């Protein structure tokens, strides 16, 4: 891609962000939490599950284990019972218990603020770490690419890639670093509200004039 073409793409991305911010003025994660470690565990639970489901489970989970130490000393089976309705409960229960122990033993009881440290925790990859750093600490280390972000990035012509890692790299070249955290939330909110996987509501979409996919999904008159 030529430098001029890249600049035009960045300009269009900036316009898309501006429109999305008008539509969703307070973008943030839908997960409920009262501390950074609770956020971490909620994000671990959200893998291959919905935020709605996770938010149904976490109130009871956090009452049952009110401190990080309580999670670290719990039996995996006890945690698993509390999260049984969430997919992959056995492996997630182990990840939560072991990551709690690691935070206490290796990081002095504080969730680490560096991506390289976070991904050392059980059950934590780059995506989970980026969510925690962004929502928990306001630190921009990357752009979180979930199914909504991946789908909308392709539809909006911001990336033609298929893997989350490749899409993230493309987006990081187009979006100013100061906007990385909000950008993921904006696309997730828009994906849920209008740009669904099967029936996007292009006729009601404020991005339709800038979206190369709008004509594909808009019924012909």
Measured CA to CA, the distance from residue 133 to residue 175 in angstroms comes to 18
- Cβ contact 24:189 at 8 Å: yes
Residue 120 known to be catalytic: no
Residue 9 pLDDT > 80: yes
Overall average pLDDT of the 52-58 stretch: 97
Handedness of CA 25, 31, 32, 36 (dihedral sign): negative
How confident is residue 52, by pLDDT bands cut at 50, 70 and 90? Answer: very high
Residue 146 known to be catalytic: yes
Measured CA to CA, the distance from residue 85 to residue 45 in angstroms comes to 11
- Cβ contact 164:118 at 8 Å: no
Residue 186 pLDDT > 70: yes
- Identified catalytic residue from 21, 51, 117, 146: 146
Provide the whole-model pTM. 0.91
Residue 124 pLDDT > 60: yes
- Identified catalytic residue from 92, 127, 170, 182: 127
pLDDT in tens, 126-154: 999 999 999 999 999 999 999 999 999 99
Residue 218 pLDDT > 90: no
């Amino acid at each position: 891609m030529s430098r001029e073409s890249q600049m035009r793409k960045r300009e269009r991305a900036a316009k898309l962000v501006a429109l999305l911010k008008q539509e969703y003025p307070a973008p943030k994660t839908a997960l409920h939490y009262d501390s950074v470690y609770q956020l971490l565990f909620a994000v671990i639970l959200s893998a291959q599950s919905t935020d709605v489901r996770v938010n149904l489970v976490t109130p009871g989970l956090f009452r049952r284990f009110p401190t990080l130490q309580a999670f670290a000393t719990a039996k995996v089976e006890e945690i698993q019972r509390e999260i049984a309705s969430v997919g992959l409960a056995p492996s997630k229960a182990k990840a939560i218990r072991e990551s709690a122990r690691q935070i206490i033993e290796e990081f002095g009881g504080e969730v680490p603020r560096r991506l390289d440290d976070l991904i050392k925790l059980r059950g934590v990859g780059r995506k989970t770490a980026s969510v925690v750093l962004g929502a928990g600490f306001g630190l921009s280390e990357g752009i979180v690419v979930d199914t909504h972000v991946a789908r909308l990035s392709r539809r909006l012509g911001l990336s033609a890639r298929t893997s989350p890692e490749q899409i993230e790299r493309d987006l990081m070249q187009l979006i100013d670093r100061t906007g990385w955290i909000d950008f993921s939330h904006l696309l997730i909110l828009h994906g849920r509200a209008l740009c669904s996987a099967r029936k996007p509501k292009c006729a009601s979409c404020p991005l339709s004039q800038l979206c190369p996919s709008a004509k594909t999904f808009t019924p012909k008159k």
